[in-house]
């Protein structure tokens, strides 16, 4: 508990540092490519086209029902995909952040929790831009801006909190045991298929309701459903599904407390694990 408060304090007082460092992070990551930062957007764009082709065209997906509204498959996919991309990229980058950047920081009294934080923040910029691009595309597909968009702010914040809490745990574990990062990498690939990004998990509702309930324990589904409800103007998702909201924040808080306890316990000794 004490370490959790300490981390929150560190985050707030170093917010300027997080913002500045995240810009350098973006810069140094894309220095070698001619197209530079554009790759951050090209990569997911190519991916989404592949999924669209495989699932939308070859498997000819029907429009998906979101809270009684029928949504074309591509738009439905798009509304969740950039959310997934943010989660995937920042979890991966966050997990390896400490052991890749520690040498550069080389000072123990540096507020270490800033490291995963600024890496996530770099992804956060990309997420915002991708969200805006998606919104523009959705306008052309006939899903217009509506007042439910307001809840996007809430969901973006919630996504950030989840990713940060997860990264505190994974970055510590990956630094101590490097194999953990490999494990995380492969399990995240699997996550894509069970998080309701590519196919609606509601198709399990009739035949396998137990499995659907189990899959819903995944906090990503909460976020993805929320993004979709907002972008397609369906409902005030976090109020309508208030039990799910409580579950989500309960989970985030538990993860955050575990993460900060781990982080604070090992932060002084990170350098010994390099």
**Chain contacts with other proteins (rule: CB under 8 A):** 17, 20-21, 24, 27-29, 31-32, 103-110, 176-177, 268-269, 271-272
**Residues constituting the chain:** 274
- Least distance to other proteins from the beta carbon of 44, Å? 22
Which run of H or E residues covers position 71? strand 69-71
- Least distance to other proteins from the beta carbon of 39, Å? 14
Q: Tell me whether residue 17 or residue 137 sits nearer to other proteins (CB atom).
A: 17
Q: Which two tokens stand for residue 270?
A: 């990170």
Say if CB 91 and CB 163 are below 8 A apart.
yes
Q: Tell me whether residue 238 or residue 266 sits nearer to other proteins (CB atom).
A: 266
- Least distance to other proteins from the beta carbon of 103, Å? 7
- Per-residue burial over 176-213, b if 16 or more Cβ lie within 10 Å, else e, is beeebbeebeeebeebbebbbbbbbbeebeeeeeeebe
Longest Cα pair distance anywhere in the chain, in angstroms? 56
Helix (H, G, I), strand (E, B) or coil at 236: coil
Q: Tell me whether residue 184 or residue 192 sits nearer to other proteins (CB atom).
A: 184
Q: Tell me whether residue 6 or residue 176 sits nearer to other proteins (CB atom).
A: 176
Q: Tell me whether residue 134 or residue 172 sits nearer to other proteins (CB atom).
A: 172
Strand partners, 70: 65
Interhelix angle 242-266/219-231, nearest 10 degrees: 130
- Least distance to other proteins from the beta carbon of 54, Å? 35
247: CB partners within 8 A, 6+ apart = 217, 219, 222
- Least distance to other proteins from the beta carbon of 176, Å? 6
Cα(225)–Cα(272) distance, integer angstroms? 42
Q: Tell me whether residue 110 or residue 154 sits nearer to other proteins (CB atom).
A: 110
- Least distance to other proteins from the beta carbon of 179, Å? 8
- Least distance to other proteins from the beta carbon of 15, Å? 13
Q: Tell me whether residue 17 or residue 194 sits nearer to other proteins (CB atom).
A: 17
Helices (H), the chain: 2-13, 15-29, 39-51, 73-105, 114-140, 151-176, 179-194, 209-215, 219-231, 237-240, 242-266
């Amino acid at each position: 508990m004490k370490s959790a408060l300490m981390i929150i304090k560190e985050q707030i007082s170093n917010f300027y540092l997080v913002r500045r460092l995240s810009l350098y992070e973006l810069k140094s990551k894309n220095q070698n490519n001619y197209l530079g930062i554009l790759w951050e957007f090209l990569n997911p764009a190519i991916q989404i086209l592949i999924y669209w082709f495989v699932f939308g065209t070859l498997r000819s997906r029907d429009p998906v029902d979101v809270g009684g509204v029928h949504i074309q498959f591509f738009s439905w996919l798009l509304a969740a995909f950039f959310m997934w991309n943010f989660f995937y990229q920042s979890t991966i980058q966050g997990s390896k952040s400490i052991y890749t950047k520690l040498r550069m920081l080389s000072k123990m009294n540096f507020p270490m929790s800033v490291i995963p934080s600024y890496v996530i923040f770099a992804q956060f910029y990309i997420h915002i831009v991708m969200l805006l691009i998606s919104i523009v595309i959705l306008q052309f597909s006939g899903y217009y801006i509506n007042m439910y968009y307001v809840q996007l702010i809430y969901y973006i914040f919630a996504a950030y909190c989840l990713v940060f809490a997860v990264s505190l745990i994974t970055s510590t574990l990956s630094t101590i045991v490097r194999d953990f990062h490999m494990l995380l990498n492969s399990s995240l690939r699997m996550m894509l298929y069970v998080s309701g990004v590519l196919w609606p998990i509601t198709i399990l509702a009739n035949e396998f309701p137990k499995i659907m309930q189990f899959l819903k324990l995944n906090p990503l589904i909460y976020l993805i459903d929320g993004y979709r409800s907002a972008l397609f103007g369906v409902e005030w998702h976090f109020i309508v599904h208030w039990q799910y909201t409580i579950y989500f924040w309960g989970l985030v808080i538990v993860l955050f407390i575990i993460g900060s306890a781990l982080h604070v316990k090992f932060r002084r000794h990170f350098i010994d694990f390099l």
